[in-house]
């Protein structure tokens, strides 16, 4: 049943798609929204990056503090002289 309307619908859709044009004001608005979304994505990525680095640093410091406490190593004395 769909086959008998397929060519007509395809021709109609091609005509509509070919006649579609964005106005300059709409194009500028789309570019502005796109730029804002990109900035938001970068800000979120940087927050996740620096948050992960801060958590990693804190975890490393905590594990080092616990290990030095169990081993009886004073803070700042946990390296060998060259």
Q: How far, in Å, CA of 55 to CA of 22, rounded?
A: 47
pTM for the full predicted model: 0.59
Residue 72 lies in a domain: yes
> What would the pLDDT profile of 6-19 be if each residue is shown by its tens digit?
888 899 999 999 99
**For residue 37, what are the domain limits?**
24-76
Q: Is the pLDDT of residue 1 over 70?
A: no
Residue 81 lies in a domain: no
> What would the pLDDT profile of 31-75 be if each residue is shown by its tens digit?
999 999 999 999 999 999 999 999 999 999 999 889 888 888 887
As for how many domains the chain has, the answer is: 1
Residue 55 lies in a domain: yes
Answer whether 68's CB lies under 8 Å from 75's CB.
yes
Residue 35 lies in a domain: yes
């Amino acid at each position: 049943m769909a086959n008998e309307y397929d060519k007509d619908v395809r021709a109609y859709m091609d005509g509509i798609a070919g006649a579609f044009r964005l106005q300059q004001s709409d194009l500028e608005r789309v570019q502005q929204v796109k730029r804002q979304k990109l900035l938001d994505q970068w800000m979120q990525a940087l927050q996740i990056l620096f948050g992960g680095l801060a958590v990693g640093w804190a975890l490393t410091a905590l594990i080092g503090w616990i290990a030095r406490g169990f081993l009886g190593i004073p803070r700042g004395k946990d390296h060998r002289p060259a």
